[in-house]
Structures are given as C-alpha cells and as structure tokens.
Chain A
Amino acid sequence: MPTNKSVSKAPITQFVNCRILRDHKLQREDLWVREGRILDPEKLFFDEEGYADQRVDCEGLIIAPGFIDVQINGGYGIDFSQATSNVRGGVALVAKKILEHGVTSFLPTLVTSPPNIYHKVGTTSTPVLSTCPFQICKPHPPGLALQAGCHLEGPFISLEKKGAHPEQYLRSFQSGGMLDLIETYGTLDNVAMVTLAPELPNSEKVVRELAQRGITVSLGHSVANLSQAEEAVQNGASFITHLFNAMLPFHHRDPGIVGLLTSDQVPQDRTVFYGMIADGIHTNSAALRIAHRAHPTGLVLVTDAITAMGLPPGRHTLGQQVIEIQGLHAYVAGTKTLSGSIATMDMCVRHFKQASGCSVEQALEAASLHPAQLLGITRCKGTLDYGADADLVLLDDAINVRATYIAGQEVWRK
C-alpha cells in the first residue's frame, strides 16, 4: 500500500485484536507503531491523514511493555562477573535468550569482585551505550534485549551480610568515598546502579555523588538500622536490593531497611523502590504479601538469576562450583544449600500475581513500569505511552509469554 503520511514514509504497524496495558488498566485498544516507537493514531489520522501499512492480529492476547530486569547475574552458563575471553558475546547470548521471558531491557549485574574484573568486564560487557537516561532511548542492537548499564552489587557492602559474595574482595570507603569507587570500578561510565551498605563510614558523600550523576543507589547486603537507611534515602538512595535478603530482619522497634517501605522520612516527591525475588523460594509468600500491601507502587520484580538459569535439570559445572538443578531450585551439588535464583522473569510475574492476589495489571507493572520509574527512563521504556519505544511482550491470560518485540520488530515467538 503506498504510504500517504506527510511526516514520515516509514511503514506503520497496527496491532489489532489485543488488550493493551495503558493508564494502569488493560484496555481494548489497538496499538500503533512506527519507526520503533508507539504512535498516536489520532494524530496520524487527523494530521497526516495516514493509516496502517500492516496489521498484526494478536488474537485477543495482552500487550504489555517489555519487562525490565535490574538484577540478573547471568544465565545459560554465562556469568557476568567472570572475565572470560568473550565477555560481550556472553552478555549478548543472555540478552537474546531472555527475550523468551519477555525481558527487553536489563542491567547485567556484577557481584563483589576484585578491581581487575570491574576494569575488564565492567567496561566491555556493555556496549557503547551510556547509562544517561536520555541516551538509553536510542535504538539498540536489533534482536537483543537492551543492556541499560551495569548493576554493581558490591564490593562496598557489609561483612555480616555478604551472603554468597567473596569476603576477600569486600571494601570500605577508606579513602573518603568516590576515590575508592573509581579505584575499584575504574570508570562509572556504564554503571546504572550501585548496591552498597549505607552504614559504612563515609557512605553519605558517595550516595550523594552517585545520585547526582544519575546512578541509582541501592541499599543492600547491609546491617543498617532504619535511621541510617532513611539518611541514605535523603541523600539520594532510591532502591533496596532484594528486600528481606541480606539485611537485618524487620524488628518492631527498629524495622531496619525494611522500614523504608512505610517510612515517613522519605522526601515527598520521591519513591523508595524495592526489589523482590518472587520465585516462591527466596521469599516466603506471606512476607511478599506484607511488603506488597505496605507499599504496592514500589515493588520491582527482579530475577537475581545466576549462571544456571535457563540450563536443563541436572548437574552443571559453573566456574569453581558444581550446581544441581531440580525444578526451580539450584543447589550446591550434593547439598540442600541454595546457590542462587534460576527463576525467569515471566515465572516471577506469574508467581507474584498468584501469591499476592494482585491484578494482572499490577503484576505486569511490577516488571515493567516500576523498574522504568526506578531508573528514570519512563519516557521511552516501561510504558505503552505515545512516543515510548515499542518494546512489547505479548502474553496470554495466564501470563505466559507468546511473543516479544523490540522496537516494533518481532524478536521471538513461541
């Protein structure tokens, strides 16, 4: 069909017979896409007298914004914290495979590592794209989920709450703060998020400086009390890394970091978001419900997936470890010690909905809108608003992923 549009000759796709997530509701509306972005069809009609060049029949499926995973350590045998000979290739492999789970943007996460790992991996694992929110909105490599910057989880964390992080590489802000950061990480150019323990001396300056640079500061692997956590939030921290895990448990006279969910010391115009690993294993469903009910708009689903995610059941040797996969559990082989999460993002969305009893819209937003709000990229990600990037996930009513689109192009179909 000859194009008739006065603004652009690029082809227009109209997704019909679908329900789209817009304004927090699933609505029976068509979705229009041109040049990789969501198009306003009313403007097209009246301003350009245009119409669609092709229609995609969604057969009644749900269209949601592509999921955003802000904590993923690897998968399919790839470990983002390993300095292999082909770091970029490894990250790209994961970026391709997670499309099957509906994830269209992610932050490759590096656990506590020695400086040389950060220097080698941190700078090469993400392509040239900067984490500056406005530059994320540029088109990214076709057919892959967008690597929107690294999440550096550590090494400035608490010894008591190190979890599975290697003790010998933990660090403190002994040189005053930012110097320690640059010394350790090398560069902050491709960093989107840093998890740190705010009770470490000199952390205030670091939190402020990182926040000012547009890097999300997350509190985690910490024994901070509520006041210390609140002070960090006032200095710019906006996220909690995997709530409940690797922090002091909720206590009614000092709720610790968990207390941020209902703290009255959070500045009016800001929201504290919190990551939840909703795989049914890392967090008891009752705890998940308590957090969700206390602060539903801050909940961000994360997978915290490890190298073994996506691998078939059985034994696998990953680096120095032998892991055994049984169902959704990944154990250190021969033991019942959990060695990390292997749930996929769509599994987490399904489990979250089922465990919390929330609506489909809320479950989908916890994996798309909320992480986009956390990262400050809602102008182009996490929504189906006009002008946003057309990163889409098509789902059935049971929240199974049927197809994934990046910039309006189909990149995976079941």
Chain B
Amino acid sequence: MKLIILNDYDQVGEWAAKYIRNKILRFNPGPDRFFILGLPTGGTPLGCYKKLIEFYKKGEISFKYVKTFNMDEYVGIPRDHPESYHSFMWNNLFKHIDIKSENTHILDGNAANLVEECDSFEEEIKAAGGIDLFVGGIGPDGHIAFNEPGSSLLSRTRVKTLAQDTILANARFFDGDLSKVPTMALTVGVATAMDAREVMILITGVHKAFALYKAIEEGVNHMWTVSAFQQHPQTVFVCDEDATLELRVKTVKYFQGMMHVHNKLVDPLPPN
C-alpha cells in the first residue's frame, strides 16, 4: 500500500482530488472507453468533491466519459430525502459537474426486490468492465461501505442491517431521533471493492485513528473489514496527521519519508 500522510482535512481532500484527476486524464476516456469510478458518501469525501468541482469549473477535467458506482444507500427512505445518498451525491457532486445521469449508478433502497437490486448492481459493474478506481472511507469500527464488523471478506453487494454504533453515529442527520434513522442499507461487498483495479481510502480525524491502526498494522480480520485491502495489489490510504495517532512512529516516519516520491502522483500532468 501507499500511505499518504498530510497535515489536515483540506490537504487530504485536495491530494485525493488531484489523484483522481490525474488518473482520469492519464486514462484519457472517450465515448467507447469510460473511466469507472467507485464513490463514497459522508463527511470525509466532501473536501475531495469540492476540489473536483473546482477542477471541473477550471476546465481541468470533464466527467462526460466517467461512470460512477456509489458504495451504498439506505433502505426505506425516499430518494429525495435530504439524507439519502442520492441527495448527497446530487447536491455535493453531480449537480456541479458535467456527468450524465445514465452514467451514475446508485443502489435503489426502495426497490421492490432488494436482493435483485443488489444482484443487478453487480451485473452493471461487470457490464461496465469493472471499476478502475474505488474511492472509499472508513468507519470508526473499521468498516468499508456498510460492511460492518463480522461481514464476510468475500461478500458481494447485498442488504445489511446496520450496527447500533452506526445508527447512533447517523442519528445526528435525523434530528437526533433514533426512530427516524434507517436500520438497513444496501451495500457493495468487501469482495466487490476488492475487484476494483485500484482502491483509494480516505481517513481523517482522531476518531478514525484506531480503525486505521487496525486496518494496516494488524492482521486481515473480518471485524475490521478495511483490513481486507492489505491483500489488494494497488491501494492508497490518504490520511491526515490526526488519523495516524494510533500508528507506530516507525510506520509514520517510513511513509512520511516517501512523500516526495508519492507527491509526484498529484503533480499537474504535462499538457499534450
């Protein structure tokens, strides 16, 4: 893995956005070769999305030939609910860029048959040719998407019941009323994300530090599902200093020492 350690939340968002931009530009997508992006929701990627919108507005990047697959969506809340992940993606990314609706894919938490919805999502990813870059975050309990502790590391897109911790953490988005928080969600599986050709995980804040430690310094464990990416050949973890607080000094110094090499990945590409 590459561990990119930056000073703060804003720097993480900017680095990640530049990385995505460069990946898309190098790929050089066109009408018959789309760049397939896996995307997360939540507080962590917001800074990254803001920067991507900035790059689009400056003309540095276009999403015309980019397809997106979101990781998850709540079950049972209306699609236009302000807390649905459809609303999140629309308000924080889609409405500001030139992506076509038919190229975006978000699981439908109100589908008549949830299992079929999950299966067809897997089919759509396959039909698109697989995911080129899967961007994700990490929960305080080490989950990737809604693959809560105990999720099989070979899982695929499916319906999940949310852990109590997650429901409590989400209550703040539902007026603090626990009865309003969805208890189930559709989520890509750990294996679904592992199938991507490259994975980038964003981690910021002290409250994620322990999960990051478990994910990269301990063993592969279904209780900390992000640890599965230790077995992926191309993973980048982008974090701020606060998130490294539970790591060994040796780990941090090692990767900080490589920043001058890793930063080359986000330098502006030569025009051609």
Taking Cβ atoms with an 8 Å cutoff, the residues of A that contact B are 30, 40-43, 45-46, 48-51
Contact string against A for B residues 74-118, beta-carbon threshold 8 Å, 1 for contact and 0 otherwise:
000001100000110011001100001110000000000000000
B209 vs chain A, min Cβ distance (A): 35
Given that A50-B101, A51-B100 are contacting pairs, would A45 and B94 also be in contact in the complex, using a CB cutoff of 8 Å?
Answer: yes
Count B-side interface residues using an 8 Å CB cutoff.
Answer: 11
Checking A30, A46, A51 against B90 with a beta-carbon cut-off of 8 angstroms, the contacting residue is A46
* Chain B residues with CB under 8 A of A50: 101
Which B residue's beta carbon lies closest to that of A29? Answer: B95
Given that A46-B79, A49-B102, A50-B101 are contacting pairs, would A41 and B95 also be in contact in the complex, using a CB cutoff of 8 Å?
Answer: yes
The answer to whether A45 touches B79, judged by C-beta atoms less than 8 angstroms apart, is: no
Which A residue's beta carbon lies closest to that of B80? Answer: A42
The answer to whether B87 touches A45, judged by C-beta atoms less than 8 angstroms apart, is: no
B79 vs chain A, min Cβ distance (A): 6
- A42 vs B86: C-alpha distance in the bound complex, in angstroms? 9
The answer to whether A45 touches B80, judged by C-beta atoms less than 8 angstroms apart, is: no
The answer to whether B95 touches A49, judged by C-beta atoms less than 8 angstroms apart, is: no
Which A residue's beta carbon lies closest to that of B103? Answer: A49
A99 vs chain B, min Cβ distance (A): 31
Which A residue's beta carbon lies closest to that of B86? Answer: A46
The answer to whether B95 touches A43, judged by C-beta atoms less than 8 angstroms apart, is: no
- A43 vs B94: C-alpha distance in the bound complex, in angstroms? 12
- A49 vs B104: C-alpha distance in the bound complex, in angstroms? 10
The answer to whether B95 touches A42, judged by C-beta atoms less than 8 angstroms apart, is: yes
Which A residue's beta carbon lies closest to that of B99? Answer: A45
**Which one of A30, A42, A51 has the highest number of Cβ atoms from chain B below 10 Å of its Cβ?**
A42
Known: A41-B95, A42-B87, A46-B101. 5 other contacts (CB 8 A): A42-B80, A45-B95, A49-B100, A49-B102, A51-B100
Q: What would be 17 A-B contacts, judged by CB atoms less than 8 Å apart?
A: A30-B95, A42-B80, A42-B87, A43-B80, A45-B90, A45-B94, A45-B95, A45-B101, A46-B79, A46-B86, A46-B101, A48-B101, A49-B100, A49-B101, A50-B101, A51-B100, A51-B101
- A30 vs B94: C-alpha distance in the bound complex, in angstroms? 13
A107 vs chain B, min Cβ distance (A): 35
- A48 vs B100: C-alpha distance in the bound complex, in angstroms? 11
B222 vs chain A, min Cβ distance (A): 34
- A46 vs B110: C-alpha distance in the bound complex, in angstroms? 14
Query: Main SS of chain B's interface residues?
Result: helix
B89 vs chain A, min Cβ distance (A): 9
**Which one of A43, A46, A48, A50 has the highest number of Cβ atoms from chain B below 10 Å of its Cβ?**
A46
Taking Cβ atoms with an 8 Å cutoff, the residues of B that contact A are 79-80, 86-87, 90-91, 94-95, 100-102
* Chain A residues with CB under 8 A of B79: 46
The answer to whether A42 touches B90, judged by C-beta atoms less than 8 angstroms apart, is: yes
* Chain A residues with CB under 8 A of B86: 42, 46
B58 vs chain A, min Cβ distance (A): 15
Question: Ordered nearest first, which 8 A-B pairs have the shortest CB separation?
Answer: A49-B101, A42-B90, A45-B101, A49-B102, A46-B86, A42-B80, A45-B90, A45-B94
* Chain A residues with CB under 8 A of B94: 45
- A46 vs B86: C-alpha distance in the bound complex, in angstroms? 8
- A94 vs B86: C-alpha distance in the bound complex, in angstroms? 46
A50 vs chain B, min Cβ distance (A): 7
- A46 vs B79: C-alpha distance in the bound complex, in angstroms? 9
* Chain B residues with CB under 8 A of A49: 100-102
B64 vs chain A, min Cβ distance (A): 12
Which B residue's beta carbon lies closest to that of A48? Answer: B101
- A40 vs B101: C-alpha distance in the bound complex, in angstroms? 14
Which B residue's beta carbon lies closest to that of A43? Answer: B80
* Chain A residues with CB under 8 A of B87: 42
A232 vs chain B, min Cβ distance (A): 40
Which B residue's beta carbon lies closest to that of A30? Answer: B95
- A40 vs B86: C-alpha distance in the bound complex, in angstroms? 14
* Chain A residues with CB under 8 A of B101: 45-46, 48-51
- A201 vs B87: C-alpha distance in the bound complex, in angstroms? 58
Which A residue's beta carbon lies closest to that of B95? Answer: A41
B78 vs chain A, min Cβ distance (A): 11
* Chain B residues with CB under 8 A of A51: 100-101
* Chain A residues with CB under 8 A of B91: 42
A375 vs chain B, min Cβ distance (A): 29
* Chain B residues with CB under 8 A of A48: 101
- A50 vs B101: C-alpha distance in the bound complex, in angstroms? 7
- A9 vs B86: C-alpha distance in the bound complex, in angstroms? 24
A44 vs chain B, min Cβ distance (A): 8
* Chain B residues with CB under 8 A of A41: 95
Which B residue's beta carbon lies closest to that of A44? Answer: B101
* Chain B residues with CB under 8 A of A40: 80
- A42 vs B101: C-alpha distance in the bound complex, in angstroms? 10
* Chain A residues with CB under 8 A of B80: 40, 42-43
Which B residue's beta carbon lies closest to that of A42? Answer: B90
A31 vs chain B, min Cβ distance (A): 12
